[in-house]
Amino acid sequence: MIVNKEIIEKTNDAALQNHKRNFEFIAAGISNVENIIKKLIDFQIAIPSWALGTGGTRFGRFPGGGEPRNLEEKIEDIGLLHALNRSSGAISLHIPWDIPENATNIKALAAQYDLKFDAMNSNTFQDQPNQKLSYKFGSMQHVDKAVRKQAIEHNIEVIKYGVELGSKSLTVWLSDGSCFPGQLNFRKSFLNTLESLQEVYSQLPDDWKMFVEYKAYEPNFYSTTVGDWGQSLLYTSKLGKKAYTLVDLGHHLPNANIEQIVALLLMEGKLGGFHFNDSKYGDDDLTVGSIKPYQLFLIFNELLEGMDAKNMNHANSLAWMIDASHNVKDPLEDLLQSVEAIMISYVQALIVDRKKLEEAQNNNDVVTAQEILQAAFRTDVRALVAEARLRAGGALNPLAVYRKEKVREQLIKERGMKTMATGL
């Protein structure tokens, strides 16, 4: 379904006066406000196809109905998000869950909603029906060469689908690892994985990037073969120029200093992309900014510092994506909240007084450094984000329009209660 422009404009008009007052208040205190709004309009966050349905745990799943039943409906849902917030202009697909039957038609449909195809995601963490060999004991690390070959061929097939759609990157997340001491030879499983990744890398088109995502634990609980940023960096350094490390916020051990990790990866020119989510304990996959908004801000602060140091374009030199699961919320509402949280942190990082911060750092003035960061973090920038949305043709309050238009109720009517969006 589509929320048309007239409805968005009408609801904006009703909220305009209030918005203007808030915007003028914040704008008065910021010197380069027009520049910031332009950056916000350009900043797009990809939505993964698997985040459009209700997630679940190994204990259960409580679907809310109206979930997209196929790739076309997933594109429609992201089109709807993008119409509301004008910041979700890309979709990230997962193969085999989203195999396009007709790439030309799928491309045309995405273009209709002003969506691009972000990174393609391969899947060797579960067995598919009719799959010849099992990934129970790993894929690219597997002791059996035939299993490794199957995983390599799958990734090459994913690249092929991506080329048809106009994607420019492949994200490889491996669940490979071991559950018990002694199960694996660490060195051999690393080398097998490296060799498999090299085979896939050799098939990568020249203008493509390959992202190697790491994760500390789960589904394996003793060791993970791409377990942290050091291991990922080891692989991507050995692979070559087109290989980058991908940081997923939920894939670290508790209290890891993620902002420091991104600073160093950027310094090395090896940070490729980002999967946003939030967590209290581990890979909780909660709404971005719902638990640790200050950490999110600190990460953005390092991202901008590092990107600006290399003159990188904020909007398109890294792959920005949400990777979350929605167990109790309406997935589309959750995604609207996540995108909003990302935009807020981005602006807060943009308004950090970098010159003063550098001065404070050089003078070992710890108190001033903290004051500068927290002054930015404690600034209510919501009206700036809303202004950017307004100028881009979106809704001042996307969530309010979504609810007022009873989008979920309509989707349930159209698609039914019992639909499934992912292959999990």
Binding site for Mn ion (CB under 5 A): 248, 275, 323
**Residue with Cβ nearer Mn ion (88 or 121):** 121
Q: Kindly tell me which of 210 and 376 has the beta carbon lying closer to Mn ion.
A: 210
156, two tokens? 């090459």
Least distance (Å) from Mn ion to the CB of residue 247?
9
Task: In angstroms, give the least distance from the CB of 98 to Mn ion.
Answer: 16
Pick the closer one to Mn ion by CB: 39 or 252: 252
Nearest Cα neighbor of 183 from 217, 135, 214, 223 is 223
Q: Residue 334 or 405: which CB sits closer to Mn ion?
A: 334
> What HEC string does the chain produce?
CCCCHHHHHHHHHHHHHHHHHHHHHHHHCCCCHHHHHHHHHHCCCEEEHHHHCCCECCCCECCCCCCCCCHHHHHHHHHHHHHHHCCCCEEEEECCCCCCCCHHHHHHHHHHCCCEEEEEECCCCCCCCCCCCCCCCCCCCCCCHHHHHHHHHHHHHHHHHHHHHCCCEEEEECCCEECCCCCCCHHHHHHHHHHHHHHHHCCCCCCCEEEEECCCCCCCCCEECCCCHHHHHHHHHHHCCCEEEEEECCCCCCCCCHHHHHHHHHHCCCEEEEEECECCCCCCCECCCCCCHHHHHHHHHHHHHHHHHCCCCCCCCCEEEECCCCCCCCHHHHHHHHHHHHHHHHHHHHCCCHHHHHHHHHCCCHHHHHHHHHHHHCCCCHHHHHHHHHHCCCCCCHHHHHHHCCHHHHHHHHHCCCCCCCCC
- Minimum Å distance from CB 68 to Mn ion? 20
Least spacing, CB of residue 364 vs Mn ion, in Å: 38
State in angstroms the smallest separation of the CB of 259 from Mn ion.
18
Query: CB 341 → Mn ion: shortest distance, Å?
Result: 17
